Amino acid sequence: MQEQRIAYIDLSSGQIRKEPIPGKMRRMYLGGRGIDVYLMYNHIPPRSDPMGPENVLTVSAGLLGGTLAPSSGRCHIGAKSPLTGLIGSSNMGGFFAPELRFAGFDHLVVKGQAEKPVYLWIHDGDIEIRDAAHLRGKDTFETPAVIRRDHRDEDIKVACIGLAGENLVRYANVVGGLKNAAGRTGMGCVMGSKRLKAIAVRGTQGLSISHAKEAMGYLEHILGLLRDSQTMKEFSRLGTPMWHDTSDMVGRVRNRNFQRNQVPDGRSLYAENMLKYSIGMAACFGCPVHCRHKYVVPEGPDKGKYMEGPEWSTLAALTAEVDCRRMETALVGNYLVNKYGVDSLELGSMVSWAIELYEKGIIDDKATDGLKLEWGNEQVLYEMIHRIAKRQGLGDILAEGPRRAIERLGEKSGYYNVHIKGMSCLHTDERPTPSHALGIAVATRGADHLRNRPGMDAHLLPPDEGERLFGFKVPGMTDWEGSGKLIRWHELIYTIPDALGLCKFYPLFMSPSTIGYDDYCKLVNYIAGLEMSPSEMTDIAERICTLERMFNNREGATRKDDTLPERYFVEPTPLGLFGFKDKMIDRERFEGLLDEYYEVHGWDRDGVPTSETLVRLGLDQEPSHTI
Amino acid sequence: MKKMLIVDHTRCTGCRLCEAVCSANKNGAVNPNRAMIAIIKWEQSCIAIPMLCQQCESAPCMAVCPVKALNRDESIGRVVVNYDLCIGCRFCVAVCPFGAMDIDSVTGKIIKCDLCDGEPMCAKFCETGALQYVDAGTANREKRRLAADVLSDLIRKSGVKASVS
């Protein structure tokens, strides 16, 4: 690889330093999320205030970002999270990261705090800190438009915050396109706290491909695999909403804040309902899957405006969770959350919590300023989106995220707030699926599925096939045994596309029948000229996972934080197919899974990596301050 | 029979893989700035339009070249630059109505799409078929059929004798 660099930007002093990336770091962490966690561990002082100048925002393109690897558009953004106080880590698609690489940079390390609103202007090796007074208050669509006009270049890519980030909503996100959002853990809030409104980038430099012919041949092979896959065809046509259908049918969808695990008569939310609004599919950089819809907002004050999406998570958060039944609600709501730049999953969860509190009489009209919170009322949902983004009334409390909102609304409210490590649970109900429940309990950034959820077909393999592919007995979707091993297996392999800057979707969420370590080794060799074996790459995966764990432990996380909301343990699922109905998580068995998970990771019973593990992975000298 | 690279912008998802493979194929490096195809976007209106050399029959670039360095190659259906003759006056860049003539940022030479000598990489890797390298004489066939499809659907649903209003 040619000289891609890391830029260290101090917003307090205005100093900017640019450094090359040592080959050793590539061999140990690859890039993207891998080098990102190293930078966080080495530059964020322990116990620092996530909203203060000591916190560091990291922006990372992958080792193979913007190249001939399929779907190479992903960008990783990290910092200490203002929501959880633990590792903040989010990822977005689109075109921002490739452009950053074309401009010569793979990583940005932003520390300090600007005195006045600023934006970063990055172009072909140069970085400037520019005044952003004229961008204040602008939403995530206007901001890039103004920047492009100012610089007279429509091809500038912009990652920015909207009103939610400016207002320090603790789960504000970073938006890099109409809907490309680094959503979870509040990275937009960190940008807001630094008064960093946007990062604008334009690059015209090239990324050399070590073995171009082989790389193109391999790309052709991958495209062939995708073309042959029936699931991929459906995915390319329907997008992620297609997963709502099957999840809802069996009873794995969150409804009315976990009072139900299925939407009764919920067919109106199934993916085919999106098609009448879809005006085509759009893609991220270099992606043949093109999994998001383009549409025109069909009703309401923003009728006629263009938008992309909605992703299944946003769809479910803004409909199933709050028991709204119209697809149109998701289309309108998706526009709003993207415009404001706020995490749809967190927002949906907090709003459904508020509705249940109102339902149960724990908060009243005084708390809601007269707004009658009720299930299935889209006007209430829209109003809450506005109030949260603008921090008005109850919105100001909900904007604080689970822990602080519980403090303000009182102890009784706590039971109903479904969060892990301070980050809200997602749109799926994991009570019937022990391995998935373990997954969200142990994910380093809080309740999250993208770190370790198995591809669906892993659970459906014939037993000996599963054992052959994975090396252990693979649990069925509602089984317990082997869940610890299964989750750790997926945790490891997911770090690889994240470190390479590639999307998890084209291997269909790491389906065992698509691509694996062998393929990633080939890609890294053909494109970056780095030769490594699948076993070396597995070590890299372990190293990344373990360093994330170390970050959290250093911030005070313990085994107690790897747990599930109380509801998972005491309320059985009321609906669903046989096997999914009447299910909850057995506490003792859960602890058993946790033991299994820690053991296969080489961590002790408290979830602390053993010294043997640290030495084996070369982490015993951390923080080592290499970069 | 001559072939042509036909663009159907309604199928373009804006992925820009064409820009990546074009530049990588020519220069061994991915650099959209050096690619001969560009996806022009209006992000706020979800529009993506592939723009490339139209390989004009009566090319303005050919017409203005003072040293006749630009000529048609009928075997592939393209306009090619003869670098032995090109003086780099860049008049072709000024007159091309599609912005298809370019000056390479690294070599300084005039560059244009040469259809990869008969196997255009962009079309090869375009998953949606927005770019297709097809027989020029029947290039409109698919579009005709697609356009007729809506009517044929109505006819099937309402019976042969029904009139469509």
Does residue A67 sit in the same domain as residue A186? yes
Q: Has residue B39 been placed in a domain?
A: yes
Question: In this structure, are B35 and B74 located in the same domain?
Answer: no
d(CA A618, CA B6): 54
Distance from CA of A271 to the nearest CA of B (A): 20
The residues near A212 (Cβ < 8 Å, ≥ 6 apart) are A68, B24, B25, B28
A 268-307: CB under 8 A from B: 279-288, 290, 294, 306-307
Say if residue A179 is in the same domain as residue A148.
yes
User: Which has more pLDDT, B68 or A231?
Assistant: B68
Closest Cα in chain A, distance from residue B63 (Å): 31
Best of A138, A211, A214, A287 to substitute, by most chain B Cβ atoms within 10 angstroms, is A287
Q: Mutating which of B30, B105, B124 best tests the A interface, going by the most A Cβ atoms within 10 A?
A: B30
* Side-chain-facing half-sphere of A166: CA atoms under 13 Å: 22
Token pair 């005039």 in the structure block, residue: B110
Co-location of A291 and A410 in the same domain:
yes
**Those residues with Cβ within 8 angstroms of residue A91's Cβ, 6 or more apart along the chain or in another chain:** A33, A74, A75, A76, A77, A182, A450, A498
Tell me how far apart the alpha carbons of residues B139 and B144 are, in angstroms, rounded to a whole number. Answer: 10
The string of pLDDT tens digits covering residues B114-134 is: 999 999 999 999 999 999 999
Give the pLDDT of residue A73: 97
pLDDT at B32: 97
Cis peptide before A623 (omega within 30 of 0): yes
Residues facing A200 on adjacent strands = A121, A158
- Tell me how close the Cα of A153 comes to any Cα of chain B, in angstroms: 12
Same domain, B122 and B91: no
CB-CB neighbors (< 8 A) of B125 in chain A: 219-220, 223
pLDDT given at position B158: 81
Query: Residue A624, CB half-sphere, CA atoms under 13 Å: how many?
Result: 14
Pairing of strands A157-160, B29-30: unpaired
Does a structural domain hold residue A215?
no
What pLDDT score does B162 carry?
54
Does B106 reside within a domain?
no
Partner-chain residue, chosen from A68, A206, A284, that has the shortest CB–CB distance to B15: A284
pLDDT at A225: 86
Residues of B in contact with A206 (CB under 8 A): 23, 27, 29-31, 33-34, 106
Task: Say how many domains are in chain A.
Answer: 3
Where does a domain end: A202, A234, A262? A202
- Domain span at residue A501 reads 434-617
Look at A13-17, A143-147, B49-53, B144-148 and tell me which has the smallest mean pLDDT.
Answer: B144-148
* Domain end among A184, A202, A220: A202
Judgement on whether residues A576 and A441 belong to the same structural domain of the protein: yes
| Domain identity same for B33 and B13 | yes
Chain A partners of B16 at a C-beta cutoff of 8 Å?
A: 95, 285-286
Which residue range is the domain that position B137 belongs to?
3-53+113-158
Amino acid making up residue A270 = Y
Q: Do B124 and A220 touch (CB under 8 A)?
A: yes
Q: Which of A546, A544, A491, A551 is nearest to A40 (CA)?
A: A551
CATH code (residue A489): 1.10.599.10
Model confidence pLDDT, tens digit, residues A283-307:
999 999 999 999 999 999 999 999 9
Whether the CB of B39 is below 8 Å from some CB of chain A: the reply is no
Question: What is the model's pLDDT at position A390?
Answer: 98
The verdict on residue B43 lying in a domain is yes
The pLDDT assigned to A1 comes to 47
ipTM: 0.94
The structural domain count of chain B equals 2
Torsion of the alpha carbons at A15, A18, A23 and A28, rounded to the nearest 10: 40
pLDDT of the residue at A2:
60
Residues of chain A contacting residue B24, judged by C-beta atoms under 8 Å apart: 67-68, 209, 212, 215-216
- Residue B135: count other Cβ atoms within 10 Å of its Cβ: 12
Q: Domain for residue A263, yes or no?
A: yes
pLDDT for the residue A514: 72
B25 and A CB contact within 8 Å = yes
In whole angstroms, what is the distance from residue A178 CA to residue A502 CA? 20
Q: Are A198 and A158 in contact (CB under 8 A)?
A: yes
The amino acid at A275: L
Of B17, B25, B30, the CB nearest to A207: B30
Where residue A371 sits, what CATH number does that domain have?
1.10.569.10
The CATH number covering residue A90 comes to 3.60.9.10
Helix (H, G, I), strand (E, B) or coil at A548: helix
Same domain (yes/no): A22, A101: yes
The reply to whether B74 and B93 lie within a common domain is yes
A145 has a chain B CB within 8 A of its CB: yes
| Pairwise CA distance, residues B40 & B29, whole Å | 21
Judging contacts by C-beta atoms under 8 Å, the chain B residues touching residue A232 are none
Same domain, A420 and A439: no
Please give the helix or strand (H or E) that residue A158 lies within, else none: strand A157-160
Q: What's A428's DSSP letter?
A: B
pLDDT at B146: 86
Query: Do A16 and A37 reside in the same domain of the chain?
Result: yes
Mean pLDDT score across all residues of chain B: 93
Residue A618: C-alpha distances to residues A33, A276, B33 (Å): 18, 54, 40
pLDDT band with cut points at 50, 70 and 90 for residue B164: low
Euclidean distance between the first and final Cα of chain A, in Å?
Answer: 18
The answer to whether residue B46 sits within a structural domain is yes
Q: Does A125 touch chain B (CB under 8 A)?
A: no
Residue A238 lies in a domain: no
For residue B41, what is the domain's CATH number?
Answer: 3.30.70.20
Which of A206, A279, A285 lies at the smallest CB-CB distance from B34?
A206
User: In which region does residue A552 sit, left (phi positive, over 0), alpha (psi from -120 to 50) or beta (all else)?
Assistant: alpha
CA distance B44 to B41: 9
- When CB atoms are compared, the residue of B21, B31, B127 closest to A205 is B31
Closest residue in B to A226 (Cα) is B127
Q: Are residues A290 and A337 in the same domain?
A: yes
Give chain A's residues under pLDDT 50: 1
pTM above 0.80, yes or no: yes
H-only helix segments in A44-172: 96-102, 142-151, 163-166
Answer yes or no: do B46 and A208 touch at CB < 8 A. no
Does A187 map to a domain?
A: yes
pLDDT of residue A349: 98
pLDDT exceeds cutoff 60 at B53? yes
